[in-house]
Amino acid sequence: MSNDWIDSVGRMSATPAPRGLAEPLAVMQLALRSPEEAKVRYSNYRFSRLVASRLQLNDLDMARCPEILELDLASPSMQQSRPFNYQLRYVVACYGLQTLFNDDGPGPYHHAIRPTGYDFHLDVVLPAAMERWRSDYRGMADHRQMLAASIIWLYRGRKDSCWLRRVPCTWNVVDALDALRSARAIADWGRLFALYPGW
**What is the domain range of residue 119?**
5-195
What whole-number percentage of the chain has pLDDT above 70? 87
pLDDT at residue 146 is higher than 50: yes
pLDDT at 77: 62
Query: Which residues have CB under 8 Å from 75's CB, separation 6+?
Result: 187, 191
Q: Mean pLDDT over all residues of the chain?
A: 87
Residue pair 136/4 in contact (Cβ under 8 Å)? The answer is no
Is 148 a residue whose pLDDT tops 90?
A: yes
Q: What is the CA radius of gyration of the chain?
A: 17
Q: How big, in percent rounded to 5, are the helix, strand and coil portions of the chain?
A: 55, 5, 40
For residues 103 and 14, the model is more confident at 103
Mind listing the pLDDT tens digit for each residue in 56-104?
A: 999 899 889 989 998 875 666 666 778 899 999 999 999 999 999 998 8
Residue-level pLDDT at 16: 45
pLDDT, one tens digit per residue, over 29-45 is 999 999 999 999 999 99
Query: Is 169:133 a contact under the CB 8 Å cutoff?
Result: no
CA angle 17, 78, 49 (to 5 degrees): 35
Residue 11 pLDDT level (bands cut at 50, 70, 90): very low
121 alpha carbon, distance to own chain's centre: 26
Q: How far apart are CA 18 and CA 9, in angstroms?
A: 24
The total number of structural domains that make up the chain: 1
Task: Read off the pLDDT of each residue in 153-173 and give the average, rounded to a whole number.
Answer: 95
Cβ atoms of residues 97 and 144 within 8 Å = yes
The one-character DSSP state at 4 is -
Instruction: Please spell the DSSP secondary structure of 155-199, one letter per residue.
Output: HHTS--SSTTTTSS---BHHHHHHHHHHTT-HHHHHHHHHH----
Cα torsion angle, 123, 160, 52, 12, sign: positive
pLDDT digits (tens, 9 = 90+) for 115-137: 999 999 899 999 999 999 999 99
Q: pLDDT band at residue 107, thresholds of 50, 70 and 90?
A: confident
pLDDT of res. 74 = 62
- Start-end of H helices in 56-126: 59-63, 65-69, 83-94
Residue 18 has pLDDT above 60, yes or no: no
DSSP bridge pairs for 102: 114
Rounded to two decimals, the pTM is: 0.86
What number of residues does the chain have? Answer: 199
